[in-house]
Amino acid sequence: MKRNLLLLLAILIFGAGYAQTKVMLPEPDKTGGMPLMEALSKRSTDRNFTGKALTQQQLSDLLWGAWGINRADGRRTAPSAVNAQDIDLYVFLPDGAYRYDAGEHALVLVAKGDFRDGVCTQAFGKTAPVHVVFVSDLTRLRGNDEQQKRITAAADSGFIGQNIYLVAASEGMKSVVYHGGIDRTKVAELLGLPATSWPVCGQAVGF
């Protein structure tokens, strides 16, 4: 009896924990949005957010558009040098920090809590409902030249950032990419990044 009770308790604790650690995103709407030329004509930086949250569908479209898998061989919506796919996207929401798992199209919880304000040092840190932080795992890049690797990581991030700008424009959302406004030390600390991972930049999205 006591053993059964313990087993039930374990299932409840670990079962509930598991349910909270991974959030499966809805299928992205791959045929929606506005014509590309219209999205390009609306692409802009806007830092004045109301704080209104994105729906799960908007978050799904945003992340898939940013850096999702768009081919059977695992290649992505943005290019990367020698297909190194060195960038991981971390998503900071009011309830926690998550890693975007493109293979599963899911958010994997990394840390619970609201860290948006710490990660982004600018005024929109606390008002934007979503901050996407681009982290390059430099070990996935070829060569020994550290500076060259960072240039490659920055170039790879640029394509993802533009994808985010275009999805945001297409879905009536605002966005700002930030390179100066990111606290890299805090990001590394919060995410438990090794020294070989470099937080390249962040991008805020909202309304």
Ligand X SMILES: Cc1cc2nc3c(=O)[nH]c(=O)nc-3n(C[C@H](O)[C@H](O)[C@H](O)COP(=O)(O)O)c2cc1C
User: What is the dihedral angle through the alpha carbons of 29, 30, 36, 38, rounded to the nearest 10 degrees?
Assistant: -20
Task: Output phi, psi for 201, to 5 deg.
Answer: -165, 175
| Shortest distance (Å) from residue 150 CB to ligand X | 13
70 touches ligand X (CB under 6 A) = no
| Shortest distance (Å) from residue 63 CB to ligand X | 20
Pick 62 or 176: Cβ nearer ligand X: 176
* Angle, in degrees to the nearest 10, between helices 56-67 and 146-170: 140
Pick 87 or 107: Cβ nearer ligand X: 87
Q: What is the largest CA-CA distance in the chain?
A: 67
| Shortest distance (Å) from residue 130 CB to ligand X | 16
| Shortest distance (Å) from residue 187 CB to ligand X | 14
Q: Kindly state the helix (H) or strand (E) to which residue 88 belongs, with its residue range.
A: strand 87-93
End-to-end CA distance of the chain: 54
Calpha distance 3→18 (Å, rounded): 22
| Shortest distance (Å) from residue 161 CB to ligand X | 7
Pick 103 or 180: Cβ nearer ligand X: 180
45 touches ligand X (CB under 6 A) = yes
Q: Which of 20, 41, 44, 139 binds ligand X (CB under 6 A)?
A: 44
Judged by DSSP in three states, 8 sits in helix
Count residues near ligand X (CB under 6 A). Answer: 10
| Shortest distance (Å) from residue 141 CB to ligand X | 19
Question: Whose structure tokens read 């993802």?
Answer: 160
134 touches ligand X (CB under 6 A) = no
Q: Please list every residue from 157 through 196 that binds ligand X, using CB under 6 A.
A: 176-181
Pick 45 or 139: Cβ nearer ligand X: 45
Q: Which of 122, 126, 159, 184 binds ligand X (CB under 6 A)?
A: 122
Calpha distance 126→119 (Å, rounded): 10
Geometric angle at alpha carbon 155, from 151 and 160, rounded to 5°: 145
The site for ligand X (CB under 6 A) is made up of: 44-45, 47, 122, 176-181
